[in-house]
Amino acid sequence: MLNIFKRKQNPLPKKTWKDITLAAHKRILEVYDKYRFEEDDSMMLYDLVTAVYGWEPTKIEGMTIAEANQYVDTIAFLGEKPKPVTAKGSYILNGKKYKTCMDLTRVTTAQYIDFQQMADKSGEMPAEFLSIILIPEGKTYNNGYDLSEAVEDIRYYLTVEEALGLTAFFFDLLRISMKRSTALLKKLIRKARKEGKMTEEQLNDLQKVQNLLTECVNGTKPLTL
């Protein structure tokens, strides 16, 4: 006997975090912020659908409740946190190939300066931060291409999970580099004390740098200097 009360299968494919770009993630966070202190959150799910799909608000307003709820069913993934995926050596964004900076010895001075300024904003301005790491193939940082265009490619074509993986990778890379620098600095200080080639003030300054690097490596100090 046919069960007429059986719920129809949703023809719409389920969304996952793999579908969510940095731009969509920002829209999602804005919806949560909007309803954070609201007593009436009856429209929040529909606003989240609009954020995930990148629609104008009027689109879902013109749907029947049944149609709108089919889309609500596709965003169940929002109940879970996005998981960082392993960083890759290159990414195709908006049809363009971007290479990942995987060797800190090849970082330009301009890159390093911008990294220092943007490191503590990696959460609130992820596309801008990652534009320091992802460089168009065949180019050097901010040379021979439009940096603002690169930021837009990252914002609208890199997924939030890819962004999390890249950010974690780069900070890990920086810590490894600082760890090596700390070890070399220790040897330098030890040698300088033994040979007496530096004043006590110079040695104290080097010791301060070593202590700062150690704190950064251990995570007790921000990685910007």
Each residue's pLDDT tens digit, 154-190 = 999 999 999 999 988 877 766 655 555 555 556 666 6
| 139 Cβ neighbours under 8 A, 6+ residues apart | 145
Same domain? 113 vs 155: yes
Question: Residue 198 has what DSSP assignment?
Answer: S
Same domain? 48 vs 72: yes
Same domain? 198 vs 145: yes
pLDDT per residue as tens digits for the range 12-64: 899 999 999 999 999 999 999 999 888 888 899 999 999 999 999 899 989 99
Same domain? 135 vs 31: no
Same domain? 169 vs 103: yes
- 217 pLDDT band, cuts 50/70/90, is very low
- 115 pLDDT band, cuts 50/70/90, is confident
* pTM (predicted TM-score): 0.74
Phi, psi dihedral angles at 159 (to 5 degrees): -80, 160
Edge-to-edge, what's the strand order for the sheet holding 90-93?
90-93, 96-100, 134-136
Query: Which has more confidence, 119 or 71?
Result: 71
Give the Cα separation of 154 and 125 in Å (integer).
Answer: 11
Same domain? 46 vs 26: yes
Same domain? 114 vs 157: yes
Same domain? 50 vs 95: no
Look up the domain containing 153 and give its range.
90-217
Q: Are 153 and 94 in contact (CB under 8 A)?
A: yes
- 97 falls within a domain: yes
pLDDT of res. 39: 81
Same domain? 21 vs 68: yes
Q: Are 20 and 159 in contact (CB under 8 A)?
A: yes
Same domain? 165 vs 94: yes
- 59 falls within a domain: yes
Phi, psi dihedral angles at 199 (to 5 degrees): -75, 165
Question: What's the maximum distance between 2 C-alpha atoms anywhere in the chain?
Answer: 96
What is the percent of the chain with per-residue pLDDT over 90, rounded to a whole number? 52
Same domain? 213 vs 105: yes
| 35 Cβ neighbours under 8 A, 6+ residues apart | 41, 44, 47
- 85 falls within a domain: no
Q: Which residue stretches of 119-159 are H helix?
A: 126-130, 147-157
Q: Which residue stretches of 74-199 are H helix?
A: 109-118, 126-130, 147-157, 160-195
Question: E strands within 11-162?
Answer: 90-93, 96-100, 134-136
Phi, psi dihedral angles at 10 (to 5 degrees): -70, 120
Mean pLDDT of the chain: 81
Give the Cα separation of 164 and 25 in Å (integer).
Answer: 12
Q: Are 213 and 178 in contact (CB under 8 A)?
A: yes
How many folded domains does the chain comprise?
Answer: 2
Give the Cα separation of 14 and 196 in Å (integer).
Answer: 69
Residue that terminates a domain, selected from 32, 60, 79: 79
148 has pLDDT over 90: yes
Same domain? 75 vs 96: no
pLDDT of res. 188: 65
- 225 falls within a domain: no
Residue that terminates a domain, selected from 79, 103, 133: 79
- 70 falls within a domain: yes
What is the percent of the chain with per-residue pLDDT over 70, rounded to a whole number? 72
Give the Cα separation of 131 and 148 in Å (integer).
Answer: 9
pLDDT of res. 177: 57
128 has pLDDT over 60: yes
- 124 pLDDT band, cuts 50/70/90, is confident
120 has pLDDT over 90: no
- 222 pLDDT band, cuts 50/70/90, is very low
- 104 pLDDT band, cuts 50/70/90, is confident
